[in-house]
Structure 1
């Protein structure tokens, strides 16, 4: 056993004890974060606009600071981008993480000297929790690959701007730099397909032990590796035993991954975003991800079913319940206040607080009042894959309202199969029964003959890649929405 792996085990034990300390005192921890945030920001423009000086409780805060999304916070962000200081947070940001917006064009998410360390620490701690629980630290001596955006940055009024994954690449600890792939030159390639081809060439003869990235793009890397070498990924990388991912639910991809690798490997799920690093899987034995309550982020939650009401109730960590779909709001040491991230979560546990990402508040299907969310379709697909022994590349679901005369509308599941099941109709029937089991609204619509059972459209190979390429979103942190309440994505996919 190397000195590096021995040191990792010792450090892991220390870090886990620190985590347990705040995880066992969640309400007190969040209250401390809340007070620190208000105190630090009271003299900013935002703090003065919302009378932070006189906020002494969460109830005051909820009355004085409305829920906002990026578009509503944009006037403040625009002032920061133009070079003003002390707007949302004291001073100027260290960086702007640039992401694709929907209605406002490019989004510029501030990263500050206070918030940046938590992005790095959370990813590190996820790995250390794994080491402490499993005792497996040998992988620290091998090569690690992180499929991410380009680390190249631009400047806007003296503040560096780039993709979050690219910014984080500059913070890889020195002791990991020599283990890290791909090279800086390869990482800076903008065209995703060219970049993955270059990564294949750089890594195929290396001792890869850890691979990290969004599942759909790692799958693309694995397929190109197999095509280039003629070997299963697990045969090529005999010491590869840990896959780290985030951004989407891994379960629909698991069967395909195990086939490409040739065996099972451990995995760690992360919940990062440009706005903050919110949770990570702290145990291989427990479901869900540990919500990071001590990372400069104060959390609020609104039940998703009431979110669009005029004045929905805002809850703190001590008021949430398990198995309820919540919209998660954040206030952070990067200057985001009562910010609607857009993600919905469900708590799996409250001792400690562990969550799963259940979907996006804007990504749902309720064309007929069914309120279908991402978690439901992903769970149904995962069970169907196990029941019928097939694998998929990707899928998305949309309503089909325009039907033949006399035909009821339905949900259309657009699936790119890796190996197509023999009887698609039986798979569709199984998926439909699973959806009825999970969603009482959907069940009532089927029973009441408002909807007919779902239908599957089998897409051509590489349909999703072609669609993402057509949108300028191939690779990196981009992902296809699992659900749409309209036909824009579905119609584009069918035409490919």
Structure 2
């Protein structure tokens, strides 16, 4: 065992002991966090506008601070971007994480001197928790790769701007720098396919022990490695590869193909980082749910997803949540985001400790007929049948077809790229539809009532989704294919990629 591995075990035990303290009383940690945030920001423009000096508890806070999305907070954020200080948080941000906006171009998410260390600490603790649970520390002696956006940063009114992953890349601790790949020069390549090819060349003969990234782009990296090797599996290319760290999407649709590429099952850690804050990570290999980080500079709120678009929805703190209820996640952060609707939905599967699953996006659903089908439901329906039948899924998305051909009922149209197609597609489609009906009573009623016909699957050509994402300028990095759309934008773009053979 190398020195780093040996030292990591007592350090992991020390860190886990600290985590265990707050996770036993996460509600108290959250109450303390809220009051600390309020006190720190009471002299900012936002704090004065919302009477932070009078806030004594969460009930006071709810009355004074409405829930807003990025566009609704934009008058304040624009002032921060313009270089004004003490607007939403004390001073000026250390960085802006630049992300793609859906309605008005780029979004600039502030990252403060207080919030940036929480991102780094959470990523570190996810790995240390794994070491403490499994005793497996060997990976820290090998090479680690993080498939991420470019670390190149620009400046806007004196504040550094970049992708979150790129900002983090510039802050990797010195003790990990020698282990880290790819090189800075390769990481700066903007064209994703060119970058992946360069990463393959850099890593092919290295002792890779940890690989991290969004699953579909890791799969692309694996495909290029396998092609370069003449067909070897990843376990034969990287004999000491031990740990896969991922986030951003549900791993389950990709698990079978990734494990097939590797040639064996491998330990994996799911993380839930966002530009707004590092929210949760998987703290056990025996449990796929994520530990909500109740002491990480953020105060969380939860709105029942089926009330989100109501005029006056319920707004709950951590101590008020229920298990197995879909909630829209609201953040209040030590970077100055207040009542901020991040757009994600989660559900709690444990309250001792508080653990979540990410169930989708509040705006990614199908409810063209009142069914409100969400991402978790379509993923479960498809994967339960695919796993039962040994079918391989590369990628998929679903959209409503509200204007079918003459004499046809409307339906949900599924666009699927198979890595291993079903032997009987109509029978497979029927079983997936039945599985979705079992998960969503509204969809069941629409099928039973002959308002909708059962779903229809369109099989797509190989690399169809890569082609689509390339055409949208969203290939690689932190970009993800939406599982669900309530419109036809993605579906219409995929129509010419349907497999006609």
TM range (shorter): over 0.9
The size of the alignment, in residue pairs, is 496
The residue that corresponds to 2:98 in the other structure is 98
Cα deviation, 1:35-66, whole Å, max 9, x if unaligned, reads: 00000000000000101011111111111100
The residue that corresponds to 2:492 in the other structure is 491
- TM-score of the pair, normalised by structure 1: 0.99
Stretch of structure 1 that moved more, 456-465 or 418-427: 418-427
Give the superposition deviation at 1:287. Answer: 2.9
User: 5+ unaligned residues in a row in structure 1: which ranges?
Assistant: none
The residue that corresponds to 2:477 in the other structure is 476
The residue that corresponds to 1:278 in the other structure is 279
**Take 1:147 and 1:356, find their aligned partners in 2: how far apart are those partners?**
23
**Take 1:92 and 1:236, find their aligned partners in 2: how far apart are those partners?**
46
Cα deviation, 1:155-187, whole Å, max 9, x if unaligned, reads: 001000000000000111111111100000000
Cα deviation, 1:366-412, whole Å, max 9, x if unaligned, reads: 00011100111111222122111121211001011111222111111
Residue 363, structure 1, aligned to residue 388, structure 2:
no
The residue that corresponds to 1:119 in the other structure is 119
Cα deviation, 1:247-277, whole Å, max 9, x if unaligned, reads: 0000011110111111110100000110110
The residue that corresponds to 2:86 in the other structure is 86
Stretch of structure 1 that moved more, 53-62 or 336-345: 53-62
SS of 1:404's partner is coil
Residue 429, structure 1, aligned to residue 418, structure 2:
no
8 A Cα contact 1:252 1:385, kept in partner: no
8 A Cα contact 1:287 1:348, kept in partner: no
Stretch of structure 1 that moved more, 328-337 or 3-12: 3-12
SS of 1:14's partner is helix
**Take 1:487 and 1:269, find their aligned partners in 2: how far apart are those partners?**
31
8 A Cα contact 1:463 1:493, kept in partner: yes
The residue that corresponds to 1:162 in the other structure is 162
**Take 2:259 and 2:139, find their aligned partners in 1: how far apart are those partners?**
19
SS of 1:87's partner is coil
The residue that corresponds to 1:313 in the other structure is 314
8 A Cα contact 1:299 1:328, kept in partner: yes
**Take 2:22 and 2:244, find their aligned partners in 1: how far apart are those partners?**
27
The residue that corresponds to 2:460 in the other structure is 459
- Within 5 A, what are the aligned runs for 1:230-379? 230=230, 231-379=232-380
Give the superposition deviation at 1:146. Answer: 0.2
Give the superposition deviation at 1:495. Answer: 2.1
